[in-house]
Chain A
Amino acid sequence: MTTRLIGAPVARREDARLLTGRARFIDDIALPGMLHAAVLRSPHAKARFTRVDAGAALALPGVHAVLTHEDLGPANAPMPLLNDNPGFIHPRMHRALAPGQVRFVGEAVALVVADSRYLAEDALDLIEVDYAPETPAVDLVAAAEEGAPLVHDDTDSNVACRTVDASGDIERAFAEADFVLREELRPERGAAQPMEARGVVARYDQSLASLTVWDTTQAPVSARGVIADKLGMPEAALTVIAPDVGGGFGVKIMLVYAEEVLVPFAARLLGRPVKWIEDRREHFVGSNHERLMVHRIEVAATGDGRILGIRDRFLYDSGAYCPYGPINAECAQAILPGPYMIPAVHSEFLAVYTNTPIVSPYRGAGQPHGNFVTEMAMNHVARALGLDAAEIRRRNLVRPEDCPWDTERIFQGNTPFIHRDSDYPAQLETALEALDYAGVRRGQPAEREQGIHRGAGLAFFVEGTGIPPYEGVEVRVEPTGHVHVATGYPSQGQGHHTTLAQIVAETLGVAPEMVVVESGRSDRFAWGVGTFASRAAVVGGNAALGAANAVRARALELASEELEAAAEDLEMANGAVHVKGAPQMAVTLAALAQAANPINTLAAGSEPGLRAADYFRSSDVAIASGVHGAVVVVDAATGMVEIERYVVVHDCGVMINPTIVDGQILGGTAQGIGGAFYEKLRFDEAGQPLVTTFMDYLIPTAMEIPPIEIHHMESRCSLNPLGVKGVGEGGVIPAAAAFCGAVEDALAPFGARVRAHPLDPPAILAMIEGRTAP
């Protein structure tokens, strides 16, 4: 009998280390003779300079080097474009150090290396740069207009990319409409803000001419390629290791940030290990942002609330460069119809350069934006037609009997977006019941008489997960009986080691404690893409299953000879292969691994050892889905909101580990509520960031996040052997729409319409008082 581990709430093997201070994060790495780096960052949103005078800085005792763009040579070539798009007009990538022109406050201008970080920062104060400031383009809408100041002087407009994604007959949809909603919707600018900011440590081995780089990256194998290219080194001489990483959320995948080139460059130049740790103030300007889009939509509907078509034209703030490509905008486009059967969708985006920090994906990668647009539009169409917000959703959902339903939309990774393996109507009814939606509705008239403003909000989500390209996993049984599992994609706290061990242990019939997992080291497993887009469980998990199955088959083959029994009469349990019904007739995996050691035997043409690697490449998006429901009470005198209930109905297919699934949902929802009600980055007209501390960037704490009730629906995914869909982003995607919808519902008597988030209490009070939003 094989013990079922897939699906069991196995305790996370990572937690004892992480929770007792035994983890090794980037700043815990200390090497003999290590120097410390600090980055001189541009104080201007746009300026030219001709001279960086580091004389006084270099004269400071303890300062070893000040690097400017002139010192870097070919290492300062533009960074690669990670995701191309056919609509690109002006792709412009950043460089490690700005070569004479800066385009956002925070852009790296020089690197100081000194005996300590204190000294390095003292030296920063002494560097003189002859900046000549120029007028920046800061506001997204203004930057998109003709005649706006140009972010890149060699272009004729700030439009980096213009892409249309169309499905169905949009003209017909509007011709047949009884009602058309026109609206502007605006998710504001935010950022992921992981608990640990970024960092890089590099050590150059002069004897071997090799570099080891510890990097808080979500993509160490991919980063190795870029760093090797920039430094003119063979990949073989470069090892990139992602140590314990304190949260990623997308911001730690950017191939690559300036420091990922600068720190290894400095370590090689100086022959000493160099450490750079990003502090929080730097993170606010030196790491990427997300969110800001301005959508202008038209929704065509019939009188009974059937949505016939959506026409969407939106601006996407790319920041000063676009090394990641306009993935956020692409995902927002793809996700626009949500779980609804909308016959025609026409979406066009302009990705626009502004003199602000670079924008790249943050948990959800544009899906929260598209979701906010569609879900708020659903509410507003319902309001206009006198329908309930639940009823209009019910009337438009793709039903199981419609599936597979091809939306004709293309998701990230150039994959089709086809609904299957979900029951959206059942999700809705589950959410309504869990929320006591009918009870809230019944209570509202009397409560409103008493001045109590309670409201309920609903928001569906569909989440594209498990996207291409691929991941690989190697499984190897040691002669000790331990099973070594290695993969290239790293963890930032998700619990991959626990789930990979569950998959491999169940397949091989060993105790999970016998499985040793390593990830995120390019010297342990040299193939891989990275951890992003809710893909680790789908792509990596199925690769692990494939590799474990191959090892299982090999073990059965070897045991068949050893036990003189047919392979089909054997089973694996307790770390051994035994004859079915005769557990005493057994051979341990350890013994089989020893037997497979080529020191003992190696048949011609066979592979040595009890090991296998497998790779999984998905062809299709695994769509996770669900509904969020919120009940809120608004204080009409202060605009403050209390979230009384928060319900998540969720379907991520087979759950490898329900505890980990719950953790992903809880954390994602908390981040979603942050974006809905608290977190906003602001700039003044000169492009100066006004929010660079956690006193101003209001991340909600455990005190602000209400209890979140999770209802799982587990519809097996038909696209992969494990039957899993990803789970990383479904928490965050619909949270803004659920929250804002609930506030709108509470304030229905005031005719409130939410068109931007984060909502904040002044904005809510403005809706109550009929003011123009502040």
Chain B
Amino acid sequence: MKPPPFAYECPTEVADAVALLAAHGADARPLAGGQSLVPLLNFRLVRPAVLVDLNRIAALAHVAVEDGTLRIGAMARQAAVEAAPAVARGWPILTEAVGHIAHPQIRNRGTVGGSLAHNDPAAELPAVMLALDAEMTARGPAGTRAIAAPDFFTDTMETALDADELLTGIAVPALPEGTGWSFREAARRQGDFALVAVCVLLRPASGGGLNARVVVTGTGNGPVRVPAAEAILAARGAAGDACEAAGAAAAEAVEPMDDPHAPAWYRRRLVAALTARASMEAATGMEA
């Protein structure tokens, strides 16, 4: 398990990294925390000619709140987000979700941007960023553009980033006052990728009922919103039977596949159970 030969670049400025990606095109791969890419290299499943190491780019490492918006540099370590008091206060569902990513050693190296750009279909961060309406900032030779989360995660291990584009930062808008939240994950072992994970955000709507956000991951090509479940919670509130109904609707909506870890029918059961439980938990956290 040793990688094939590759050239190694180690820029300290975003502009230099972007220039290197532009120069080498599809032959280059950016290296963030390396928690997914390095195993892929060692298995010889990817064979880039050039690795562009982003770890020395200080400008991408921030975790900060500006005007109520959480701004995370693409190279911020997952552990830094997990430990940030401002994140725990304003976006506790993000703190909770990061705690489900692998183990502390991996979170110390793994980055937020790396996980989002890798877009493993059972990873926690893409799901929670979709639930939180995050916006990704990408920089390429033509300049900078913003990509909304639903447009960013395109398919299994694929994103809207072009080969010569670099994810530089993530902006997470403030959660409205009174939002109740829940992040529930089922995994065989602590730290494994989710068999299924569910994010639920609930808050009272102005005209009665609820604003509901339900995101499920681990059931196919990555995180998906489940409008059918959201509609049930919005219309019926989050009493026990409505939560059960939302779970059933979510299980109906997803399209899991059989894989060595679990058959499709089992993942549907997990979606139903976790969505119901997450909805109940989120409801208890709501404040009028």
- Collect the chain A residues with CB atoms within 8 Å of residue B43's CB: 281
A703/B190 in contact, CB under 8 A:
yes
- Collect the chain B residues with CB atoms within 8 Å of residue A696's CB: 260-261
CB contact between B188 and one of A118, A635, A678 (< 8 Å): that residue:
A678
CB contact between A682 and one of B260, B266, B270 (< 8 Å): that residue:
B260
Q: A122-B4, A280-B1, A638-B273 are in contact. Are A698 and B192 (CB under 8 A)?
A: yes
Most buried by A among B1, B2, B43, B192: B2
B188/A698 in contact, CB under 8 A:
yes
- Collect the chain A residues with CB atoms within 8 Å of residue B263's CB: 762, 774
B49 an interface residue at 8 Å Cβ cutoff?
no
Compute how far the CA of A761 lies from the CA of B186 in the bound complex, rounded to whole angstroms.
10
A690 an interface residue at 8 Å Cβ cutoff?
yes
**Which chain B residue shows the least CB distance to A281?**
B1
Compute how far the CA of A762 lies from the CA of B264 in the bound complex, rounded to whole angstroms.
10
User: Interface of chain A, helix or strand or loop or mixed?
Assistant: loop
CB contact between B260 and one of A122, A690, A700 (< 8 Å): that residue:
A690
A592 an interface residue at 8 Å Cβ cutoff?
no
Q: A638-B186, A774-B263 are in contact. Are A118 and B270 (CB under 8 A)?
A: no
- Collect the chain B residues with CB atoms within 8 Å of residue A121's CB: 1-2, 4, 44
A704 an interface residue at 8 Å Cβ cutoff?
yes
A28 an interface residue at 8 Å Cβ cutoff?
no
- Collect the chain B residues with CB atoms within 8 Å of residue A281's CB: 1, 43
Compute how far the CA of A188 lies from the CA of B207 in the bound complex, rounded to whole angstroms.
57
Q: How far is the CB of B106 from chain A (nearest CB, A)?
A: 12
B260/A703 in contact, CB under 8 A:
no
B191 an interface residue at 8 Å Cβ cutoff?
yes
B189 an interface residue at 8 Å Cβ cutoff?
yes
A639 an interface residue at 8 Å Cβ cutoff?
yes
User: Interface of chain B, helix or strand or loop or mixed?
Assistant: loop
CB contact between A691 and one of B260, B269, B270 (< 8 Å): that residue:
B260
B186/A637 in contact, CB under 8 A:
no
A760/B1 in contact, CB under 8 A:
no
**Which chain B residue shows the least CB distance to A764?**
B266
CB contact between B266 and one of A703, A704, A765 (< 8 Å): that residue:
A765
Q: A638-B273, A691-B260 are in contact. Are A678 and B189 (CB under 8 A)?
A: yes
Compute how far the CA of A760 lies from the CA of B266 in the bound complex, rounded to whole angstroms.
11
Compute how far the CA of A640 lies from the CA of B189 in the bound complex, rounded to whole angstroms.
11
A402 an interface residue at 8 Å Cβ cutoff?
no
**Which chain A residue shows the least CB distance to B47?**
A125
B190/A701 in contact, CB under 8 A:
yes
A704/B189 in contact, CB under 8 A:
yes
CB contact between A704 and one of B44, B190, B273 (< 8 Å): that residue:
B190
Q: How far is the CB of B158 from chain A (nearest CB, A)?
A: 20
Q: How many residues of A contact B (CB 8 A)?
A: 29
Q: What 0/1 pattern do residues 2 to 19 of B give for CB contact below 8 A with A? A: 111100000000000000
A762/B262 in contact, CB under 8 A:
yes
Q: A762-B262, A765-B269 are in contact. Are A703 and B191 (CB under 8 A)?
A: yes
Compute how far the CA of A704 lies from the CA of B190 in the bound complex, rounded to whole angstroms.
7
A484 an interface residue at 8 Å Cβ cutoff?
no
A638/B2 in contact, CB under 8 A:
no
Compute how far the CA of A122 lies from the CA of B270 in the bound complex, rounded to whole angstroms.
43
Compute how far the CA of A761 lies from the CA of B262 in the bound complex, rounded to whole angstroms.
9
Compute how far the CA of A639 lies from the CA of B261 in the bound complex, rounded to whole angstroms.
14
Q: How far is the CB of A394 from chain B (nearest CB, A)?
A: 36
Compute how far the CA of A122 lies from the CA of B6 in the bound complex, rounded to whole angstroms.
12
Q: A122-B4, A682-B260 are in contact. Are A700 and B189 (CB under 8 A)?
A: yes
**Which chain A residue shows the least CB distance to B190?**
A703
- Collect the chain B residues with CB atoms within 8 Å of residue A774's CB: 263, 265-266
Compute how far the CA of A639 lies from the CA of B265 in the bound complex, rounded to whole angstroms.
13
Q: How far is the CB of A248 from chain B (nearest CB, A)?
A: 22
- Collect the chain A residues with CB atoms within 8 Å of residue B262's CB: 761-762
A117 an interface residue at 8 Å Cβ cutoff?
yes
A638/B269 in contact, CB under 8 A:
yes
Q: How far is the CB of A319 from chain B (nearest CB, A)?
A: 21
Compute how far the CA of A690 lies from the CA of B260 in the bound complex, rounded to whole angstroms.
8
Q: Which of B180-210 contact A (CB under 8 A)?
A: 186, 188-193
B4/A701 in contact, CB under 8 A:
no
A701/B2 in contact, CB under 8 A:
no
Q: A698-B188, A700-B189, A701-B191 are in contact. Are A637 and B269 (CB under 8 A)?
A: yes
- Collect the chain A residues with CB atoms within 8 Å of residue B269's CB: 637-639, 765
Q: How far is the CB of B241 from chain A (nearest CB, A)?
A: 15
Q: How far is the CB of B58 from chain A (nearest CB, A)?
A: 31
**Which chain B residue shows the least CB distance to A700?**
B189
Compute how far the CA of A423 lies from the CA of B265 in the bound complex, rounded to whole angstroms.
48
Q: What 0/1 pattern do residues 267 to 288 of A give for CB contact below 8 A with B? A: 0000000000001110000000
B266/A118 in contact, CB under 8 A:
no
**Which chain B residue shows the least CB distance to A684?**
B260
Q: What 0/1 pattern do residues 211 to 248 of A give for CB contact below 8 A with B? A: 00000000000000000000000000000000000000
Q: A703-B191, A762-B262, A765-B266 are in contact. Are A125 and B186 (CB under 8 A)?
A: no
Q: How far is the CB of B133 from chain A (nearest CB, A)?
A: 29
Interface pairs A-B: 5 shortest CB-CB: A703-B190, A637-B273, A762-B266, A279-B1, A118-B2
14 CB-based A-B contacts, threshold 8 Å = A118-B5, A121-B4, A122-B4, A280-B1, A637-B273, A678-B188, A678-B189, A682-B260, A695-B193, A698-B188, A703-B190, A704-B190, A761-B188, A762-B263
